[in-house]
Amino acid sequence: MTATDNAIPAPPSKNARRVPGEPDMWFFVFFESLIFASYFCVYLFFRAQDERAFLQAQSHLSLVLGVLATIILLTSSLVMALCVQQARAGRHRVATRLVYVTAGLGLAFFALKTAEWVRLIHDGQTFTKNDFMQYYFFLTGMHALHLLIGFVVLGILVHQLSDPQRRSQEAVETCATYWHTVDLYWVMIFAMLYIVR
């Protein structure tokens, strides 16, 4: 072992700028954002063709549940940001606990969405009921799939933080970037499906 093996890397310059996380994740975020944007454009186009029918179907959604789910998911993003800060400061146990809190909030969000899906289906508002419900179940289903992948990402993050040999700030930031992206998609979905009238 040479003397350089124990050397501590110099902290980055205050003026140094870098994008957090791995570049591949940002390519994924850009690509996924284009896909979601195309879905949103198609939705808005067909909504403009029959606005009254879309508004009538939209009235079956629970704005209260939508707002509550949004607050929970945005809180999970805040907790994830705190996790990144704690990991950067070397407080990895605290960071790990914050990952679990993030996952708990994500599960609460998923439970709320599942409850709304069940309520809608019980009321006869299924995927095949009308165009609005097709878009609703498709977009929220796509988001749910990304959320489930997010739970896997959080598991990887816990695995990274649990072992000093595997710890990587870049990995922490990459996982956080994915989670924030999932939250961003939900905010856009919420605005279009619940708010736009």
Give the 3-state secondary structure of the chain. Answer: CCHHHHCCCCCCCCCCCCCCCCHHHHHHHHHHHHHHHHHHHHHHHHHHHCHHHHHHHHCCCCHHHHHHHHHHHHHHHHHHHHHHHHHHCCCHHHHHHHHHHHHHHHHHHHHHHHHHHHHHHHCCCCCCCCHHHHHHHHHHHHHHHHHHHHHHHHHHHHHHHHCCCCCCHHHHHHHHHHHHHHHHHHHHHHHHHHHCC
pLDDT tens digits for range 106-142? 999 999 999 999 999 999 999 889 999 999 999 999 9
Q: Give pLDDT tens digits for 28-80.
A: 788 888 888 888 889 889 898 888 999 999 999 999 999 999 999 999 999 99
Binned at pLDDT 50, 70 and 90, residue 171 comes out as confident
Q: What is the pTM of this model?
A: 0.82
Share of the chain above pLDDT 90, in %: 59
Per cent of the chain over pLDDT 70 is 89
Indicate the CATH number of 82-197 among 1.20.120.80, 3.40.190.290, 3.40.190.10, 3.40.50.2300: 1.20.120.80
Q: What is the pLDDT of residue 36?
A: 85
Does residue 16 carry a pLDDT above 70? no
